[in-house]
Chain A
């Protein structure tokens, strides 16, 4: 069974502690909350896979917690815990989206089976999502784009490491193009004519992972009707890309380490040692140092993977690439949708330069795709963008954040005699962002 992140919500300390202890020994990551309010606070900070919620609590009831959580995140599985005699409320909870309910005290067997059932259904949902994403990825992100100094550095690193056979670890936030960087390393390596095999460690359920990576012999388990090659074998002569390596279970970490050390593995149910020649590139958005400290990632595997590593910059760190990327996506989506949209208005570009893009390039790509779909003109306007918030632009002389920002920029510009480079340096932003802010706030020299 995989490690699930579970939150126990119960106002009785003894119930919380006994259930938490049991689930910890079962290998899960567990937190507790003594009230519905505390649970909602924790959920703001951490994403849990499963919530075990007592129906009857002081203050906010379990049913209220269920409704609030489901409103924000319908994918969280919520199991209601109830005493005998409150079954009607439990049934109401099921109608409101609870996965199931347990009558306390419950048989440990019942709890174990239920958690496994939830994990299977969640793994299935993730796998479906991954398959859909994979389909989309085939048509998107065909190349790495960027003129910013930080991206130029990345290109240099890729050029240097590609011809070697070294294992590479790519880190960086979600949506920064780690997969593209891995593909670029493969394409520029002597293995470029070999396969580039992707394993999304976060999307493949653990019980399928072993057979997915190592393959299986016919009859190895109930559904193994044929002998199947694993992805390690498929990657022979090419590159194995282990995406989301930080999500891999401790057991698979042990197996992977052995493969990386000996280059020998066994198919599930097989006794014959198999050998494959592949290069490994791994990627993660997780802080692996933290994961090692938390005891959920093996230090020896980390050093085995971290032969050469680099971090993909977030879009916020390479804002000067936004116009180039936006134009690239505009061109692609207008072709795909057969809509003639020639360019992006200066105001829309300003909005994009000012926005923080927490979802990085993937978010930018989605924003342009949407803008192309909704645009009624031959030009993308700010209102076509999902990030556009006209209320943010209202600048007044009061103490709004925007007002203070305008006043501060104006003052620094004045102090630097409108020297844009000096002002941008002093403000800690790049020149293009400063120009965008000047236009956005309509700052002119007479404001001084």
Chain B
């Protein structure tokens, strides 16, 4: 018997992550998206995605593996990793998501940069939470938002991440509600096995 609630969002830390990081992510995801959020490690490592020439990890390969390995009750799955991610055409990415799809990944690698001396731990945690919600937002079909304060705003630098709020703007809230309604109507896409 399945002990997990249907249509959950699964948070999958890759490697060791302090609960002080994963728990706020879990809390915020639950608050913003309104679905149960569970912390369940799915991938042990992401060595399969390593590009030795670039010494970076190909985020799209991670998404494919994540989607394949996601448990049946997972409506969406988000991985959190410490490694530096890339897509072939770009120098780096903070994360990647399947737009309107199931999987996304966020990297903490560059979120440590340009951190102010005051409360570095708190700021680092906030950045991870914001970027996790941002990437998950893409899986709910949200695109980048021009509102600088919106969590779906595309941040060019880490300082931009600090400047944006931890909320969706009212436009993105409406678009998220529309998408959730659409998902409910279509039986949350893929029925759990």
Contacts and interface: CB of A to CB of B under 8 A. Distances in A.
A18 B58 CA distance: 10
A104 interface: yes
Interface in A1-57: 1, 12, 14-15, 17-19, 21-22, 24-27
Contacts of B60: 17-18, 21
Given A1-B146, A254-B174, A14 B154 contact: no
Interface size classification for chain A:
20 to 34
B143 A27 contact: yes
A105 B90 contact: yes
B144 A105 contact: no
B96 interface: yes
Of B89, B156, B175, chain A has the most CB atoms within 10 Å of the CB of B89
Nearest to B160: A109
Contact of A26 (B87, B89, B143, B157): B143
Contacts of B87: 18-19, 21-22
B91 A25 contact: no
Given A109-B157, A112-B156, A254-B174, A25 B144 contact: yes
A21 B88 CA distance: 11
A107 B143 contact: no
A109 B156 contact: yes
Nearest to A108: B90
A112 B170 CA distance: 24
Contacts of A104: 89
B144 A14 contact: no
B138 interface: yes
Nearest to B146: A1
Contacts of B171: 250-251, 254
Contacts of B50: none
Given A22-B89, A107-B91, A1 B99 contact: no
Nearest to A109: B156
Nearest to A206: B146
Given A17-B60, A19-B87, A112-B154, 10 more contacts: A12-B88, A18-B89, A22-B89, A25-B97, A25-B138, A26-B143, A108-B91, A108-B93, A109-B157, A254-B171
